Amino acid sequence: GAGVSQSPRYKVAKRGQDVALRCDPISGHVSLFWYQQALGQGPEFLTYFQNEAQLDKSGLPSDRFFAERPEGSVSTLKIQRTQQEDSAVYLCASSLVGGGFSNQPQHFGDGTRLSIL
């Protein structure tokens, strides 16, 4: 597609429910990133994929957070047993190449605004 596409745009869930957020990167982009953005703050890194391989998950805040990209294109971020502190905008980004000094910027989707009641 023309840009990074994320769905849903908004998600409201009750505390304790599981949620799944989808990211469809720009066609042909090797690298895919997930970030969490709290209100009034800059995005914070969660996890990184190069094709289907999850190369870095150091930013995932707990084992309730899980991400996958099984075929190297679409990715899903799953949050189990949601808590109120999970409320944030979840941004997905993709870039053309992966690894090393790529000199390629990350391009972001519009994000999913998650609200936990």
Segment 50-79, which members bind another protein (CB under 8 A)? 50, 55-56, 58-59
105 binds another protein (CB under 8 A): yes
* Pairwise CA distance, residues 41 & 115, whole Å: 16
Structural contact between residues 29 and 94, judged by C-beta atoms closer than 8 angstroms:
yes
Tell me the closest approach of the beta carbon of residue 56 to another protein, in angstroms: 5
Running DSSP on this structure, what letter comes out for residue 26? P
Provide the 10 A C-beta neighbour count for residue 108.
17
91 binds another protein (CB under 8 A): yes
25 binds another protein (CB under 8 A): no
Single out the residue of 11, 19, 25, 31 in contact with another protein (rule: CB under 8 A): 31
* Pairwise CA distance, residues 109 & 70, whole Å: 20
1 binds another protein (CB under 8 A): no
Give the N- to C-terminal CA distance of the chain in Å, as an integer. 33
Q: How many CA within 13 A on the CB side of residue 87?
A: 11
How many chain residues are in contact with another protein, going by CB under 8 A? Answer: 31
111 binds another protein (CB under 8 A): yes
Footprint on this chain of another protein (rule: CB under 8 A)? 3-4, 31, 33, 35, 40-45, 48, 50, 55-56, 58-59, 91, 95, 98-99, 101-103, 105-111
